[in-house]
Structure 1
Amino acid sequence: MKRKYFLAQHGLTLIELVIGITLILCLLSSTVNLFSGSLKVWTFGKQQSQLNQTARIAMDSIVKDIRYAQQITLKNTSSLVVTKVNGEIRTFQLGEGLHSKTLYVLIDKTKAIPPGGISSSPITENLVTDLQFVQRENSKAVLVTLEVTNTSTGERTLLWTACYPFNLQ
């Protein structure tokens, strides 16, 4: 008689259901933790990549203007004035006050051909923590140092290059 009872059973017991659900929840929670960790790593990598890209764009902009400058003047170690062949004057410097971490280029086209006004445009937004220009007395080369900081992680990236102007008088 007992043998017929086991053969006729068609469902799961409550204990089997609880054990199965517990195992599924353990697997799902480990999968969610793995996905969450991967998402954090991806987000950090994306932020770091954007920070490096912004720093390189800023550095390339500065270097391009130095290379084709007719005259270079250092106002101080963190401000550089570049006069282009057409008479346009560009000043690279950090902002002031709330914008002290923003790299600006001030463009003066009053002596340029065709003449224009003075404009200011940011190259980076609130990322640059240090900007330095150095030019040795005996050399025409300009050493540019640019440091950017990730605001969310505090990680710093330092870029530097030496640039030699082609048209310097």
Structure 2
Amino acid sequence: MGFWSVIKRRSGNQQGATLAELMIWLVLTVLLMTGVAQLLATSLTGWRMINSQTTLQQTVRFSVDSIVRDTQFARGIILDHNRLTVITNKYGKKDQRITYTYDTGARPHVLRRNKNDGSGAQPMTGGNSNASLTISDCRFTVLAAGRNGQPRTVEIVVTARDSDTGRQFTLQTAVTGRLVPP
């Protein structure tokens, strides 16, 4: 007599499941659901970290790209402690001053752009007090000057940090004002 023939004979007139069978199915279901929940939690954490890194990179790249585009076509460059001002004719106004400021007075710290057209300094990197992204460092440094001593090539370093995940991203570049006298 085989094992399966005994099971068939015993379960032939059975109307439902035994308590032992129900408990086994319950334990197996709990184990399966625990595994699925852990997989979901791990996937969600991974997605959040990747999303955080992507947001950091996009924000810093957008900010630095805007600064580089305006500085490339600058007729003059003025550097002050945490402020970069470019003088340009790019936006249809002669000798328009565009000022980039690292605002450490705001919480979280932001990078602001002021076209000096009456609209005020607009945040390039958030400016929302609930935002998890903050600019933890921003430096403008003169790398080369023209014969008249006016800055011509500027190094730009911007570091952003996500306070939720602790991730950080730094972008460093140098740009030369093409219209600044050599």
Using the size of structure 1 for normalisation, the TM-score is 0.85
Pair 99,88 (structure 1): closer, same or farther in 2 beyond 3 Å: farther
Q: Matches of 1:56 and 1:5 in 2, distance apart?
A: 73
Contact 1:144 1:161 in 2 (8 A): yes
The Cα RMSD (Å) is 2.1
Using the size of structure 2 for normalisation, the TM-score is 0.79
Which portions of structure 1, spanning 4 or more consecutive aligned residues, are displaced by more than 3 angstroms? none
Q: Could you say which residue in structure 2 is the equivalent of 1:113? A: none
Q: Matches of 1:42 and 1:100 in 2, distance apart?
A: 24
Q: Could you say which residue in structure 2 is the equivalent of 1:104? A: 112
Pair 9,96 (structure 1): closer, same or farther in 2 beyond 3 Å: closer
Pair 118,38 (structure 1): closer, same or farther in 2 beyond 3 Å: closer
Give a deviation string over 1:83-139, Cα, whole Å, max 9, x none: 002211011111242346110112224xxxxxxx36221111252111111113456
Q: Could you say which residue in structure 2 is the equivalent of 1:112? A: none
Contact 1:107 1:118 in 2 (8 A): yes
Q: Could you say which residue in structure 1 is the equivalent of 2:179? A: 167
Aligned residue pairs: how many? 159
Identical residues among aligned pairs (%) = 27
Contact 2:145 2:153 in 1 (8 A): no
> Structure 2: which 5+ residue stretches go unaligned?
1-5, 128-133, 147-151
Q: Could you say which residue in structure 2 is the equivalent of 1:69? A: 74
Q: Could you say which residue in structure 2 is the equivalent of 1:84? A: 88
Q: Matches of 1:55 and 1:20 in 2, distance apart?
A: 53
Taking the TM superposition and a 5 Å limit, the aligned residue runs for 1:47-58 are: 47-58=52-63
Q: Could you say which residue in structure 2 is the equivalent of 1:20? A: 25
Q: Matches of 2:176 and 2:53 in 1, distance apart?
A: 29
Give a deviation string over 1:121-158, Cα, whole Å, max 9, x none: 11112521111111134563211101111111222211
Q: Could you say which residue in structure 2 is the equivalent of 1:128? A: 135
Contact 1:72 1:80 in 2 (8 A): yes
Shift of 1:71: 0.3
Contact 1:94 1:100 in 2 (8 A): no
Shift of 1:8: 2.1
Contact 2:155 2:174 in 1 (8 A): yes
Do structure 1's residue 60 and structure 2's residue 65 form an aligned pair? Answer: yes
Tell me the SS of whatever aligns to 1:105: strand
Q: Matches of 2:111 and 2:38 in 1, distance apart?
A: 40
Q: Matches of 2:55 and 2:72 in 1, distance apart?
A: 25
